[in-house]
Homo-oligomer: A and B are copies of this chain.
């Protein structure tokens, strides 16, 4: 199992134990994507993935909650990083701009690790329900994101506890406990405003659309361009773009200048 150069500083101040876990997780994730890109996610059993990664099938479930999660979860810390970026963004940025910048920074990885994302694209095309599942940020993340946005807008909000990541160790260990810790109150949502909730959801969706569109039109357009276009549409209120029969193949350019 090859270890892999990670973009962010992972396994930095960690012992051998921690690094092995990271390696195992990466091996499973990569093997899964690689197999699924060829045969389709549905036709790749947990046994096959574990086998390709060189671990027991039982171990698979020590790292991922379900068969599908291995294709969807990429980095348990991405949500926390985005939220931190939003908190630390310059005060003069509008909420939408703050979210856009935070996501753009995180999605830079998409272009760096181009190959893996390209494979992931194949997987998602073959089984769209995976897209519905985890992309962007899944629902729990969306709630936290909404809360962070609300806090940025009005720090004296409904006294909800500020949402931070766990201790230094982070969630990179076995089994990320993303969902509610057993007895969490589902009515917790009630204190979130409509606007932050909407912004969080729409921003996540926008990121997803940007990625989808990017690997549908991969050659002519770069990801940052598409990402920028998407948020331009959004902040303009989604008006109908000026004609631009766009798909007419003669010209590569798609949307606005």
Contact = CB atoms under 8 A, between A and B. Distances in A.
Given A133-B132, A186-B125, A191-B247, A209 B198 contact: yes
Interface residues of A, number: 62
A174 to B, nearest CB: 20
A140 to B, nearest CB: 6
Contacts of A96: 237-240
A157 interface: yes
Identical chains in the assembly: 2
Contact of A189 (B95, B125, B189, B190): B125
B202 A208 contact: no
21 contacts: A95-B240, A128-B138, A128-B140, A129-B179, A132-B132, A158-B247, A187-B216, A189-B216, A193-B246, A193-B247, A194-B229, A194-B230, A194-B254, A195-B241, A195-B255, A197-B213, A198-B206, A201-B206, A202-B238, A235-B237, A235-B238
Report the 3 A-B pairs with minimum CB-CB distance, sorted nearest first: A125-B186, A237-B237, A128-B139
Interface of A: 94-96, 125-126, 128-129, 131-134, 138-140, 143, 153-154, 156-158, 179, 186-187, 189-195, 197-199, 201-202, 204-206, 208-209, 212-213, 216-217, 226, 229-230, 233-241, 243, 245-247, 254-255
